Structure 1
Amino acid sequence: MSIPFELPAEDRALSPYTGYTRAHVEAVADGLLGAAWRWATPEGALLDLPGRPSGSGVRSDGLEGYARTFLAAGFRVAGADGKDPHGWLERYARGLTAGTRTPGQDDAESWPLILDHHVQGQPMVESASVALGLMLTRPWLWDRLDEDVQDRAETWLRGAITHTPAPNNWYLFPFMVASFLESVGRGDSATARSMERALDLMETWYRGDGWYADGDGRAFDHYNGWALHLYPMLHAHLAGDQALAERFGPRLREHLEGFSLMFGGDGAPLHYGRSLSYRFAASAAVGIGAVTGRTPLSPGASRRLISGNLRYFLDRGALTPDGLLSLGWHGPHDATLQHYSGPASPYWASKGFVALLAGDDHPLWTATEEPAPSEGPDRVVALPAPGLLVQSTRDDGIVRLHNHGSDHVRPHEGEFAEQADAHYGRQAYSTHTGPTSLTNVADNHLSVEVGGVTSVRRRIHPLGAGHGDGWGWAASWHRPVFVSGPPMVPGLRVESVTVARGHHELRVHRVVGAPHGARLTLTGWATDALRSELVGVHGWSERDTVRAPQGTAFEPWVTVPRLSAQAEGTAVFVALASLSAEERATPLAEAVAEVACADGGVTVRWADGHETVVRFEPLSVQGADGSS
């Protein structure tokens, strides 16, 4: 699709995969800023972008427009060593002056006050972007402000330190505010406590394999890259905090070992988790890794991911004809959004511009582009700490994520199903498909139907994950939860194992305690543009295809393959699934030569001679090579 602002000519010699260079990234930042500033208030304190308001209201949305675009301007100007050919910083200085003049007032320019997250929390989120923008541009903006404006700005920012964040990555917002205040000589015991508190929490949230939980639960998603790794490493980089860099840098490197595989061959990030309208912020961890040197990736591979991720969305209609980022994925898509999503929310995509902190002569921009990890040989990588299994196939560039450990249920919450969570509850996600809407049939989902009511998957209990040569597995269990009638059936649980090999996904489920009359359904990938197959190889009795007319973020209308069977007591069900871009000569069912279920386990002999053995008591998964 056409882009509503001018970009430089492609450079296919330096960037054979995307054609994009550093100049393209700068031009996109400038184009987005120019489009957004057309909607500024007279003095520039609020950018009131068009669209339906978020749950926080239009004034908070206007601050969001200012703060999140300031982040893009900060990376743009700081990366150019202060060069500001479009005069962005003059506008942000004027807006800061106006917004902090009488905070909390109902006039054309005043910023809302920062209060507790459950009262009026969104301004706390935006305070981090304001603070980071000021920190990035200090010599050219902050240092030139009148002292009374600096004092007013500090007073407003300190609201983030004196109020309570949400119990997750929000603690990094006062952390960044404190980081900025200390950097300009305005630190004190309160800023020190705020930073120490956030860093202490980060230790409790770290689970291993380079992954943090987003709070005290088990939410593992894109917030790892664009918040939990990004903010501490940015602070360490900008403040010259070598001790913190040594503490958090190895975790970022380890995170990128697995996360770098989570971009498709077309540049798409995994469509998984919340806040997906932030789009190319997904490459923020790759960018900060390259800027700080805390990355396992070569400069050419890093740029391939950053540029590919950016171009993916620009080429697929993420911008409106006016040059604004729409609320959605490719284009507008309501099902992708959360209640906190407002017209300016997508501009957290500005975090993708962190790569601009690497200057013109940095290897990130001078090295020749290299293939992304998903463009290499087929791979299966297990991440036991978050309970994730990543599967990529080179010929179609599709990356699949099998979720056996990440949910969005906080520790204090009981398991209830007033509404399912399509962003976490499904068993698989990909770079080329999205979950179906909550009003349509759920894709990649095992459901137990009791009394005509179907179950959802809420809290996920990981059982393990591992990989061998060319294959991998992950397992979990959950209690089926019902949306009406009794929320649970006593003793009912589902144990699930996914084994990935090439394009194939072996899905093994053991249902325990199914009451008389229970019925099971298992669905596959939701798509009409790609080839989605689901074949029952043990226990399943019926097979059909279901329509999902509300579509996904990728397609306006999709179908979903489905298996079904009756169940009672304890029983094992085995299916084979696949998602691919091409018609395959060999039917999916022929990929498995034999399935034997005995002694509480399943032995699968594949057509190529490989053998997979799944046992449930205790759980173990083994391949023919003995790996598990």
Structure 2
Amino acid sequence: MNPLSTTAPRTRAEFETVVRELYEPLRSHFSPGNARVRPVATGSHCASAAAELEGFSRPLWGLVPLGVHGDFDDWARFREGLVNGTDPDHDEYWGPADDHDQRHVEMAAIGLGLALVPEELWEPLSETERANLADWLNQINDADLPDCNWLFFRVLTNLGLRSVGAEHDPDRTAASLDELESYAVGDGWYTDGPPEEGAPVDYYVPWAIHYYGLLYAVLAEDDDPERAARFRERARSFATHHRAWFDADGRALPYGRSLTYRFAQAGFWGALAFAGVEALPWGQIRGLWARNVRWWLDQPIFTDGGVLSVGYRYPTLKTSEEYNSPNSPYWALKAFLPLALPADHPFWRADEAPLPDLPETTAQPEPGLVVCRDDGHVFALSAGQRSVHGRAKYAKFAYSSAFGFSVGSRRHGPGLAGHDSTLALSLDGESYRIRGDLDETACEDGVLRSRWTPWDGVRVDSWVAPALPWHVRLHRVRTERRLHVDEGGFAIARPDGPRHGTETTDSGAVVRSDAGTSAVRDPLEAREACVVHEEPNTNLYHPRTSVPTLRATLDPDTHWLATAARAHPDRAVDADAPRPTVRHTAERVVVEHDGERVLRVER
């Protein structure tokens, strides 16, 4: 049930209403003491108290900005929750926050509340209640935190405490900030952790590190102007790269972990506005922000009770991470930071502007991506990253704003390991592995390269490059074992009824549905073409999907495999458009398209 009176907000007042209406279904799920929220019975890897604290704290990411200039009539509930949740003698006490504890994550939203709306969350409290709250928050200064974006939770918590004159730890704050800045790798990019350890580059760059850095730039500018300026300048540089991840309708590339946070994807653009960073014209920034939020609000992302569900475009636990509680999706409300700005801010006065014409291909070596734009279809080719929370989320060959991707199934058999946009290998024809635990990767001159060793005696080198409207993949498989090989194109919705069609030929397979067209072709015509129906609820976008697939069995030897893949939201698109070709010589393998060389690999 969508709880919103409008899914197409455009004015500031309409976005304010969206925040109130997103919050409203949670009210009936608060505990008697208002310190905990439990909308459904599912859980996560953390303790119940911490997961239920998420339901209390995460709505604050939207409610606090709303409260700066707008009206919100339920602050008394949050004051009571703060008092009871931080009182060690109360039944709803949130408990001690140990090292690496989920409770530290949730402290940041409370810190933001102390900084922006102290008149609601601090000043009405008694001296004893303030002391309990400060003591509970200060646990973050005695605990070890993971070396990643989590360090910003300490920073924001201390900023909140400082803003109300409470005890805090400026030394640990400064040390955390120094560590966070060491993650900067140039041109506005960060890694989410020490770069030398192969930390990931994903949405935690825009919606966490940049987002929190821009909050810091505003809240601590007077005391730390040089660092504030650095955070602003990195965000300015990053904006020109990050806009490539969005299509004209507001959809963003689904890539990496924590995608259940949904319209947190818009958070970076809102944080630019909050910090006054006109990295792009204000109309473009507002357009990127608003289109993404509107796209999400029009999707079936709610439970029957109107609560945000775990999932991506629809409710499903299969694509989630072990740390996703029923309350985790409310990090999406980080998108509404611009509501903390006055109505006469340039962000709110600007008319939404469309994206400018962007290049057909944009190489981004930091995350190992080449972002492609094909007649409205935005997708990214990937060299692969270290597999954080699932190989499917970082190591597939392509990620699409229109088709999403699929995760592995618990079942066995060909095609059931989330084989879309990847090469899947098996020794027994039942249990498959996809690319991950990579030995090396590279992004050079728009060509992506990787090497992985799935088993002793098996090594796979892969090259991926755009050849729009296609992309091409070339694999050199050196194996001392007999291998079963599946390679899939983009997964596409498999609806009921006659509108679903498949086609297989000697050179490849095509799937058409109301969601569009997905095709794979084998330029060497060395593999069998088939269509694999993935297990339900494993795709981010659709509960039922099909994947055009190329299949072979390889005997011990060195084998070259070549694949051309494309997809488009139009079901009538020409799947036989001029395709890349492959030439073998004794010295090299050459891939050409439209008379131009796409790849050349020495044998």
TM-score by structure 1 length? 0.84
Query: Does the 8 Å CA contact 1:5/1:31 hold for their aligned counterparts?
Result: yes
Q: Aligned-pair distance for 1:29?
A: 0.7
| 1:572–1:263 distance in 2 versus 1, CA, 3 Å | same
Partner of 1:575: 563
Partner of 2:203: 222
Question: Do structure 1's residue 385 and structure 2's residue 366 form an aligned pair?
Answer: yes
Partner of 2:519: 533
Identity value in percent: 30
Question: Do structure 1's residue 435 and structure 2's residue 418 form an aligned pair?
Answer: no
| 1:599–1:124 distance in 2 versus 1, CA, 3 Å | farther
Query: Does the 8 Å CA contact 2:217/2:275 hold for their aligned counterparts?
Result: no
User: Which deviates further from its counterpart, 448-457 or 559-568?
Assistant: 448-457
User: Which deviates further from its counterpart, 141-150 or 325-334?
Assistant: 141-150
Query: Does the 8 Å CA contact 1:47/1:65 hold for their aligned counterparts?
Result: yes
**CA displacement, residues 565-601 of structure 1 (integer Å, 9 cap, x when unaligned):** 4254433322111011124664446333x42233653
Distance across 2 between alignment mates of 1:300 and 1:65: 33
Question: Do structure 1's residue 39 and structure 2's residue 22 form an aligned pair?
Answer: no
Query: Does the 8 Å CA contact 2:66/2:72 hold for their aligned counterparts?
Result: no
Query: Does the 8 Å CA contact 2:114/2:163 hold for their aligned counterparts?
Result: no
Question: Do structure 1's residue 612 and structure 2's residue 571 form an aligned pair?
Answer: no
Distance across 1 between alignment mates of 2:187 and 2:452: 23
Partner of 1:623: none
Partner of 2:450: 476
Choose the corresponding residue for 2:303, options 320, 341, 348.
Answer: 320
TM-score by structure 2 length? 0.87
- 1:442-453 paired onto structure 2 within 5 Å: 442-452=419-429, 453=431
Distance across 2 between alignment mates of 1:309 and 1:180: 29
Distance across 2 between alignment mates of 1:478 and 1:115: 37
Query: Does the 8 Å CA contact 1:596/1:603 hold for their aligned counterparts?
Result: yes
Question: Do structure 1's residue 518 and structure 2's residue 483 form an aligned pair?
Answer: yes
- 1:16-55 paired onto structure 2 within 5 Å: 20-55=10-45
Question: Do structure 1's residue 311 and structure 2's residue 294 form an aligned pair?
Answer: yes
Distance across 2 between alignment mates of 1:138 and 1:456: 50
User: Which deviates further from its counterpart, 144-153 or 290-299?
Assistant: 290-299
| 1:47–1:587 distance in 2 versus 1, CA, 3 Å | closer
Q: Aligned-pair distance for 1:293?
A: 3.4
- 1:232-251 paired onto structure 2 within 5 Å: 232-240=213-221, 241-251=224-234
Question: Partner letter of residue 35 of structure 2?
Answer: A
Partner of 1:130: 110
Query: Does the 8 Å CA contact 2:191/2:201 hold for their aligned counterparts?
Result: yes
Distance across 2 between alignment mates of 1:364 and 1:461: 45
Partner of 1:210: 188
Q: Aligned-pair distance for 1:516?
A: 4.6
SS of aligned partner of 1:34 = helix
SS of aligned partner of 1:32 = helix
SS of aligned partner of 2:171 = helix
Distance across 2 between alignment mates of 1:586 and 1:34: 47
Query: Does the 8 Å CA contact 2:302/2:315 hold for their aligned counterparts?
Result: no
| 1:235–1:510 distance in 2 versus 1, CA, 3 Å | same
Query: Does the 8 Å CA contact 1:131/1:180 hold for their aligned counterparts?
Result: yes
SS of aligned partner of 1:169 = coil
SS of aligned partner of 1:195 = helix
SS of aligned partner of 1:158 = helix
**CA displacement, residues 348-378 of structure 1 (integer Å, 9 cap, x when unaligned):** 11111112233211222221211135xx356
| 1:600–1:579 distance in 2 versus 1, CA, 3 Å | farther
Partner of 1:262: 245
Question: Partner letter of residue 261 of structure 1?
Answer: A
Query: Does the 8 Å CA contact 1:209/1:384 hold for their aligned counterparts?
Result: no
| 1:432–1:461 distance in 2 versus 1, CA, 3 Å | farther
Distance across 2 between alignment mates of 1:114 and 1:274: 24
Partner of 1:13: none
**CA displacement, residues 269-288 of structure 1 (integer Å, 9 cap, x when unaligned):** 22221111111011111111
**How many equivalent residue pairs?**
567
Choose the corresponding residue for 1:146, options 126, 129, 151.
Answer: 126
**CA displacement, residues 115-145 of structure 1 (integer Å, 9 cap, x when unaligned):** 122xxx1111111111122212124432343
Partner of 1:272: 255
Query: Does the 8 Å CA contact 1:45/1:95 hold for their aligned counterparts?
Result: yes
SS of aligned partner of 1:399 = strand
Distance across 1 between alignment mates of 2:56 and 2:540: 27
| 1:145–1:585 distance in 2 versus 1, CA, 3 Å | closer
Structure 2 stretches of 5 or more lacking a match? 410-415, 494-514
Question: Partner letter of residue 313 of structure 2?
Answer: H
Distance across 2 between alignment mates of 1:516 and 1:95: 60
Compute the RMSD of aligned alpha carbons.
2.5
Q: Aligned-pair distance for 1:4?
A: 2.2
| 1:568–1:342 distance in 2 versus 1, CA, 3 Å | same
Query: Does the 8 Å CA contact 1:4/1:321 hold for their aligned counterparts?
Result: no
Partner of 1:301: 284
User: Which deviates further from its counterpart, 335-344 or 44-53?
Assistant: 44-53
| 1:438–1:233 distance in 2 versus 1, CA, 3 Å | same
